[in-house]
Each structure stands twice: as structure tokens, then as C-alpha cells.
Structure 1
Amino acid sequence: MVDQETMAAYATHVERYRKLVKSQGGNRRLAGFIARFHPGEAVLDLGCGVGDSAARMRDAGLEVSCM
């Protein structure tokens, strides 16, 4: 379980982190990754951060598990 202090620190920086990840070409790479799969196939998102990539894979019809 995560303590409240850690959660508060994370909440303070989540939007900045999200913008940083999106600005580094991740969207293009993720689209290429998603294209390798068929809807309904399972993928594992290790180190899923704020979940943006997992949400895009789910929206593309993939069965996503996050760790």
C-alpha cells in the first residue's frame, strides 16, 4: 500500500510527467506497437505510469494488464 505522503507527491507532478512522456515521441512508437497485435490479444504494460499507454491499447481492443 502507498502512504499518503507518496500519493500527494505523485499528484503534484502527474500532469508534468504526462506531458513529458507524450512529448518524447511515445505516441508514434506506441501506435507502431499496437499495430503488431489483433483486437482481443493480451499485452502486459510494465511500469505503466499514469496509464495513458494502457488506455490507448485498451481503446484499440487489446486486453491490457498493468504492473
Structure 2
Amino acid sequence: MAAETAWDAGAATKGERVTKGEMSAWVLVVMGLAAAVIGVATEVALLAIAGIPVALGGFMLAIRYAR
């Protein structure tokens, strides 16, 4: 994995030893943050899509009662 290689190279310059468990923990952190961002974006999109018929219905009611 490219990220793993870069992580190991960074640790080698500092004289540290990175375990596979530590690497996978950081991968899980990044994946979790990415999932949270995708989840929020999806929810906003779904709310916008659900709001379109509501707005159209309100517009139709406004036209009906404006007469």
C-alpha cells in the first residue's frame, strides 16, 4: 500500500518503528472521517431532494388560495 510505504519511510527518518497495528489504526481513522463526510453530504442531498415536492406543493397551494 502506498500510504503504508510513505508512513514507514517517515518513521524511518525519525528512527521509529511503526507496527502494522498502528498503521491500520490510522487507516481506520481516515476511513471513518471520510465516511462521516460522505454521510453528511448524502443526507444534505437527500433532504434537498425531499424538499422539492414540499416546495412545489406549497407553491401550488399558494396559487390556489391567491385567487
TM-score, L = length of structure 1: 0.27
- Which protein is bigger by CA-based radius of gyration? 2
Point out which structure has higher relative CO (alpha carbons under 8 A, 6+ apart).
1
Higher strand share: 1
TM-score, L = length of structure 2: 0.27
